[in-house]
Each structure stands twice: as C-alpha cells, then as structure tokens.
Structure 1
C-alpha cells in the first residue's frame, strides 16, 4: 500500500477515534494504542517501523514546543519544586534502580547498558493523564505539575540515556560520578542558555512581522532552531526546546498582536493534536515488528525469549510505580509543611496537594512514545537489544492501558474537587473590573484625542465607555449565576444580547450567501464581508466561554 494512502487512513482513524472516545469514556491515546495493536496483528499487514531519530528529532521537538507555549510560566514557576523533583530526581532514581535490577537479572548486560534502559523507561508521558484530568476536572495545580513534569523529564531521561550509552561504550566511566554529573550539568545549563537565546531572538524577529501568517510560519521552525544547535554542541536539544517554548509563550502576550496569538494558538493546537495522537497510533502499529525482532533476529534470543522480556517489562512497570509512589508521599508532606510554616493558621493549606491529589499524581505515571523511540536508539551492539526494546514497549503499553484506563475511575471514586466555578467567575469578574478601571482612565483625559491629534466626538467616548461597562456587567452576571447554582430560568441581559446578536448574524450570513449566488458583488468584497461576520461571531462565541 502506498505511503500516502496509509497516511490518509491513519489521519481518518485519529479523527474518528477522537470523536468516538468521549462517548466510550476512554482516553483517546489509550484507544489509539489498542486499535494500533489490533491492526498490527491482522494477517497480511506488514510490520511498521519508524526510525527512532525521526521521532526524537522530528516529532518530539514540535510536540514539546506546542505544550510549552501553552503552559503559563507563572504555573511552571509556582510548581518548580515539585516539577524538579519529579522530572529530574525521580528520573535518575528510577533509571538507576530499574537498571540495577535488570543488571542483576541479565548476565550479559553491563551496568551502564542496564541504566541506559532504565533511563529509557523512566520519563512519563502526561498526554493521556492531562487529557483525562482536564475532562474530569482535576485541580489546575495538579495538571500544571503533570504537564511541567512531562516537559522536563524527557530531557532528563535523554541526557541520562546519552551519558549511560557513552559509559557503556567506554567513553565515560560510569563509576566516576563526577564525570557523569559534569556531563549532566553541562547538557542542562547549556541547553537552557540556547533555549533562552533562540526564544529571545525569535520573539524579537516575530514582533517586527505584522502579518499573522508570516509570524506563525516562523514559529514552525523554532523547535528545530532550539533543538539542532543544542544537540550539535552536546547539550539537551529537548530541554532547549522547552525553554524556548516557555519563553515564547510568556513574552507573546507582550510582543505579539492579538491576531498572531489567535493564529498561533489554533495552528499549534492542530499540530499538537496530530502529533500526540499519531504517535500513540504508531506505538500500536509497531508491535509486530518489535515482537518479531525479539523472537528471531537477536543472537541473544535463546538466552531471553520474547515472553520473558514481556514479563520483565511488566515487572519493571510495577517497580516504576512503587518508586513513584514512594517519591510522591514525602514530596506532598514537604509541600504541606512549607505551607504551614508560611501560614500557621492553615489558611493556605489548599495550596498543598492533598492525599487524593497525591494518589492521582502517583497513578498518572504512564509511559508513552518517547520510551519506545528512545529504546530503539540503543546501539546495535547492546546485548539483548531487541528484547530491551520489547521490555520498554511493554512498560509503555502496560502503564497506558492499566493506569491510564483506570485513572478516570480513580478520579471519580476519590471525588477530587477541581476548579470552584463560582470562585473562578468571581475572580475573573474582579480582574475584568481592574482592567476596565485602567482602560477608562484613557477616557478621563481632559483633552481626549486620537494618536493623530484628531479630537474625539463625545458620542464615541460614551459608546466606548458603554462597551467596557457591558463587559464588566457580563462577567458579574456569570459570577452571580454560578454562585446561586445555575440558571434562574431567565437569561441575564448580556446573555440575551449575545443570543439575539447571533440570530442577527445568522440572518446576515444568509443574506451574504444569497448575494454571492446573485453574482452582483466582486469576490474580494464578498470575502471581506464574510471575514467581518466571522470575526464578530468568533468574538461572541469567545464571550460565551469567558471564564471557562
């Protein structure tokens, strides 16, 4: 079958599963993995193999960048302690412990090679966890920790993988922890520097481009501008991409226009959707090739067969869960103690994640495609290479299906409270009032005029002031509705305005289509009118979702 046909079929599957999964109450990544598994074992379906460098250098950078630009820097900074522990310290401990156990079990595998596999299976993939969490209303802080962990731990694991692989080849002495630590520190610090430089430079360039299409097009190369130089000088390209994304997402609010931010958000959400779901489908499709390699192509296959590798993978998944569980408990205890030291009354205790959130955080340690791709990057000379890849694949599948499949049930059983909607609406309305106050100060100038010096008609000033007050009233209407527990049976004035304006827009759009059919207007005029109606409809729909 031709590659383009396969690509079309995969795209149809991804979109179809994304539509179907909410109805089945299953996370899309899990369902895609299962479908991929089913397709891979159909007689006559050829084995699928995508080179690991395509994933690590072609898919991972834009995937991490798209997540980084949408993770508020304030949330990342607020949870930097938890994120650092889970994404660096936990990765190192998990890699060393699981690697040592594999070293003890497999006689022909040296310690450095075993730790390399430990580094492969250590990083979590929070795509499934966060998609489930957002739908079921997990607390925002918990989601921020999961997203931040998944952004940084890939970098930690890949740096550790590279170091352990070099040690296995004799380039670095694994027993010399000083050399390993220096290599790890160099890779991280230089990567942060490269990411900041790339982020600052591209923000500066894009702020001087006043076309949203051009600006968004430039954004497509930023992940690779950050990844390639960092990797070329021996640093972590993945961490460089994350830093560039966090910087761009934070500075975009100041330096980019509204149209640029809207265009970039929509385009990168589309790219993220395709890459995230595509790689999970790929995980399932690669099953046959991985099993075939483990069964018959490796010279060590007589020492460790495929079933034994699968059993080792299940055992490794259990060990990783126990290590994560042991880490999360002390971490949450430290957070709560720190909160109480700052506020002995306990008023801020809500900032610390409770035991319910801790249980979800422990259970959400699923592995994903990075684990499979990194395993396939192990040197060909590595003993048991095919079986090690199967072990890594088993860890990913077991954690995705077992932990990911039961995570919604766990969240429902724990009745974990997410966002307080009434409090959210009230806080949003308060902020809108603050913005309105700052904006109306412009209208209070003694001699108000436009930037060109042209005086402003008083009726225009009243109209602008009315629009600002209407927006504030709308925010407080929503806050009141949420506080009393829903609709009172009668729509608020702003809601009536929005619904009525949408009806008017529908009539205007029908008239536009009729005018287009008559052929009386130039096409450029019709396009301009359609854009006008689309922008107005988009504004009204966004207003309907304010505060959510």
Structure 2
C-alpha cells in the first residue's frame, strides 16, 4: 500500500475514533491502540515499523512543545516540588528497581542494559489521563501535576537511557549514582540554558513579524531549534524543548498580537492532536511485528520466548504501579499539610489533593510515546533485544488499557470534586471588574485623545465604556446563573442568543451575495472574517466555545 494512502487512512481512523470514543466512555488513546492491534493481525497486512529516531527526534519535540506552550508557567511553578519528585526521583528509582529485577531474572543481561530498559518504561504519558480527567472534571491542580510530570519525566528517562546505553557500549564506565548525577546535572543545566536562549530569541523575532501566519510558521521550527543543538552538546533535547515552550507560552501574552496567539493556539492544538493520537495508533500497528520478532529462532535461543516476555512486562507494570503508590501517597500528605499550615483558606489549600486526588494521581501512571520510541532505540547488540522491546510494549499497553480503562470508574467512585463552577464564575467576574477598572482609568483621563492627537467624540467614549460594562455584567450574570440560590435575570444571555440569530441571518445574506457574484472575493473574505470573529467572541463569552 502506498505511504500517502496509509497516512490518509490513519488520519481518518484518528478523527473517527476521537468522535466515537467519548460516546463509548473510553479514552481515545486506548481505543486507538486496540484498533491498531486489530488491524495488525488482519491477514495480509504487512508489518509496520517506524525507526525510533523518527519518533524521538521528529515527533517528540513538537509534541512536548505543544503541551508546554499550553501549560501555564504559574501552575508549573506552583507544583514544581511535586512535579520534580514524580518526574525525576520517581523515574530514577523506578528505572533502578525494575532494571535490577530484570538483571536478576535474565542471566545474560548486564546491569547497564537492564537499567536502560528500566529507563524506557519509567516515564508516564499524561495524554490518556488528562483527556479523561478534563472530561470528568478533575481539579485543575491534579491536571497541572500530571501534565507537568509528563513533560519533565521524558527528559529524566532519556538522560538515564542515554547514559545506560553508553555504558553497555563501553564508551563510559557506569559509575553508579555519581556518574549518573554528573551526566544528569550537566544535561539538565545545559538544556535549560539552551531552551531559554531559543525561547528568548524566537519570542523577540516573532514579536517583530507583522503577519500571524508568519509568526505561526516560525513557531513550527522552535521545537527543533531547541532539540537539535541541545542534543549536539550532550544535553537533554526534550528538556530544552520544554523550557522553550514554557517560556514562549508565558511571554506570548505580552509580546504577541491577539491574532497571532489565536492562530498559534489553534494550529498547535491540531498538531498535538494528530501526533499524540497517531503514536497510539502506531503502537497498536507495530505490536504484531514486535511479537513475531520475539518468536524468532534467535530470540528463542536466548531462553526467553514471547509469552515469557509478556509475563515479564506484566510483572514490570505491576512493580511500577506499586512504586508510584509508594511515592505519591506520602508526597501528597506532606504537600497538603504544608499548604494548610501556610494558609488553610487559600484557593491553593482548597485545591490541595487529599486521599482521593492521591489515588487518582497514583492510578494515572500510563506509559506512551517515550516508552514506545525508547524501546526501539535499544542497540541491536544488547542481549534479549527483541524480548526487551516486547516487554516495554507490554508495559505500555497494559498500563494504558488497565489503568486508563478503569480511571473513569475510579474518578466516579471516589467522587473527586473538581472545579466549583459557581466559585469559578464569581472569581472570573471579579477579575473582569478589575480589568474594567483599569480600562476606565483611560477613559477618565482629562483631555483624552487618540495617539494621532484627534479629539474623541463623547459618544464614542460612552460606547467604549458601555462595552466594558456589558462585559462585566455578562460575567456576573453567568456567576449568578451558576449559583443555585441566585434568582438573577438573564438579559445578557438573551442579548447573546439574539445577536447570534442576527449573525446567522447576516451569514445567509453573505452566502447569497457570494452566489450572485455581486462583490469581489477579497471583500467577501473580509466580511466573512468579520462575522466569524464576532460569532467566536459571543460563543466564548457564553462558554460554549471554550472546551477542548
């Protein structure tokens, strides 16, 4: 089958499954893996194999960048302690323990190669967990911890993987924790520095570009500008990408235009959707080839068949499951106590996770793209290489299907409370009032005029002031509507609904004008953009366009 046809079919599958999965109450990644496995076992379907470097260097950087620019830096800093422990310490401990157990079970496997596989199966992938959590209303603090962990733990795992592979090749002496600490420290510091440099330079360049299309186009190369030089100097390319993405996402609000931010957000959401779901479909498609490799005469001569490899993979998944519980429980207890001691009435303390949140975070330890790519990057010279790849895939699929498949049930059983909608709307309305007050100061300045010196008509000032008041009143109306004890009226909801009906009528007239050919195409496009922008603003104001 021609590659372009395969790409089209895969795209149709990804989109179709994404529509179907919520109706089946399943996470999209789980369903894609299952469908991929089903396709791979169809007679006549050729084996699928994608080189690991394509995923590590071609897919992982833009995928991490897309996540980083959408993770608020304030949330990352607020949860830095939890994220660091889960993404660094837990990854190292998990890699060492699972690696040592494999070293004890497989007689021909040296300790460095065993730890290399441990590093492969240690990092979590938050795609399935966060997609389920957001749909079921998990607290934002839990979502931020899971997303932050999955961003940083990839770097920890890949640094440990690189060090272990170098040790197996004899290029360095595997000097235990001291050797790893030195390598990890250099890799992390150099990666942070590289990511900041790339972030600062690209934000500056993009802020000078007048066209949102050009700004977004430049953003497509930022992950690779951060990844490639960092890897060339022996630093962590993925950590460099994360730092560049966090910086860009944070500074974009200050330096980019509104249209540039909207364009970037939409385009990167599309890229992220295609890449992350495509990897899960690929995981299912590759399983047949991996299983057959583990059944080859060479693999069986090693004394470990495919069934034994799957058994070891399930055992490793169980060990990782237990280790995560042992780490998350004490971590969240300490965190909750510290926050309540500091200020028990703060929002941060109210959102601090108790045993329910700890249970969900512990359960949400699914493996994904890094495990898939890292396993296939293991050198061919490593003993049991085919079996180790199958073990890694087994861990990934087992955690995805078991933990990911039961996570919605767990969230419902624990009755974990997410965002207080009424409090959320009230807090938003308070912020809108604060913004309105700042804007009103401009209107109240004596001798107010345009930057060109043109005197402003008083009616224009009243109109601008009225727009700000309308926005504030609309925000408070939504807050009252979310409060079951409120009996507030809804004139602004009526305004939005009526204005949307008017826009629909205007759009019909626009389509009729286009059909008649009465206006030039550029004028029709400008008019359509005008209607689209207002409709989008009204839908966002109503909350109907803010999902996803």
Q: Structures share a fold, TM > 0.5?
A: yes
Tell me the alpha carbon deviations over residues 222-267 of structure 1, each in whole angstroms, 9 at most, x when there is no partner.
0000000000000000000000000000000000000000000000
TM superposition outliers: structure 1 runs of 4+ over 6 Å: 344-348
SS state at 2:295 partner? helix
Match of 1:337 in 2: 337
In structure 1, stretches of 5+ residues that fail to align are: none
SS state at 1:154 partner? helix
What CA distance in whole angstroms lies between the structure 1 residues aligned with 2:298 and 2:374?
18
Quote the offset at 1:351 in angstroms: 4.1
What CA distance in whole angstroms lies between the structure 2 residues aligned with 1:346 and 1:451?
42
Quote the offset at 1:346 in angstroms: 9.5
Cα RMSD (Å): 1.5
Match of 2:466 in 1: 466
Does the Cα contact within 8 Å between 2:191 and 2:239 map onto a contact in 1? yes
Does the Cα contact within 8 Å between 2:339 and 2:352 map onto a contact in 1? yes
Does the Cα contact within 8 Å between 1:295 and 1:305 map onto a contact in 2? yes
Match of 2:536 in 1: 538
Match of 2:392 in 1: 392
Quote the offset at 1:177 in angstroms: 3.0
In structure 2, stretches of 5+ residues that fail to align are: none
Match of 1:507 in 2: 505
SS state at 1:91 partner? helix
What CA distance in whole angstroms lies between the structure 2 residues aligned with 1:314 and 1:485?
51
What CA distance in whole angstroms lies between the structure 2 residues aligned with 1:432 and 1:172?
58
Match of 1:84 in 2: 84
Does the Cα contact within 8 Å between 1:360 and 1:410 map onto a contact in 2? yes
Match of 1:108 in 2: 108
What CA distance in whole angstroms lies between the structure 1 residues aligned with 2:297 and 2:197?
45
What CA distance in whole angstroms lies between the structure 2 residues aligned with 1:421 and 1:301?
61
What CA distance in whole angstroms lies between the structure 2 residues aligned with 1:432 and 1:374?
46
Tell me the alpha carbon deviations over residues 317-371 of structure 1, each in whole angstroms, 9 at most, x when there is no partner.
0000000000011101211231243247899642431000000000000001210
- TM-score in terms of structure 2 length: 0.97
Tell me the alpha carbon deviations over residues 415-471 of structure 1, each in whole angstroms, 9 at most, x when there is no partner.
000000000000000000000000010000110000100000000000000000000
Does the Cα contact within 8 Å between 1:329 and 1:358 map onto a contact in 2? yes
SS state at 2:234 partner? coil
What CA distance in whole angstroms lies between the structure 2 residues aligned with 1:90 and 1:205?
38
What CA distance in whole angstroms lies between the structure 2 residues aligned with 1:347 and 1:145?
16
- TM-score in terms of structure 1 length: 0.97
Quote the offset at 1:175 in angstroms: 3.4
SS state at 1:453 partner? coil
Moved more, 473-482 or 335-344: 335-344
What CA distance in whole angstroms lies between the structure 2 residues aligned with 1:4 and 1:132?
32
Tell me the alpha carbon deviations over residues 28-55 of structure 1, each in whole angstroms, 9 at most, x when there is no partner.
0000000001001111111100000000
Match of 2:424 in 1: 424
Quote the offset at 1:85 in angstroms: 0.1
What CA distance in whole angstroms lies between the structure 2 residues aligned with 1:180 and 1:542?
49
Does the Cα contact within 8 Å between 1:301 and 1:384 map onto a contact in 2? no
What CA distance in whole angstroms lies between the structure 1 residues aligned with 2:436 and 2:153?
41
Residue 164 of structure 2 is aligned to residue 164 of structure 1: yes
Tell me the alpha carbon deviations over residues 49-83 of structure 1, each in whole angstroms, 9 at most, x when there is no partner.
00000000000000000000000000000000000
Give the 3 Å change call, closer, same or farther, for CA 299–406 of structure 1 in structure 2: closer
What CA distance in whole angstroms lies between the structure 2 residues aligned with 1:139 and 1:346?
15
SS state at 1:239 partner? helix
Give the 3 Å change call, closer, same or farther, for CA 263–412 of structure 1 in structure 2: same
What CA distance in whole angstroms lies between the structure 1 residues aligned with 2:297 and 2:143?
42
Residue 263 of structure 2 is aligned to residue 263 of structure 1: yes
Quote the offset at 1:300 in angstroms: 5.5
Match of 2:521 in 1: 523
What CA distance in whole angstroms lies between the structure 2 residues aligned with 1:189 and 1:279?
29
Does the Cα contact within 8 Å between 2:477 and 2:489 map onto a contact in 1? no
SS state at 1:286 partner? helix
Does the Cα contact within 8 Å between 2:36 and 2:285 map onto a contact in 1? yes
Match of 1:53 in 2: 53
Moved more, 336-345 or 426-435: 336-345
Match of 2:443 in 1: 443
Match of 1:93 in 2: 93
Match of 2:491 in 1: 493
What are the equivalent positions in structure 2 for 1:347-386 lying under 5 Å apart? 349-386=349-386
Quote the offset at 1:540 in angstroms: 1.1
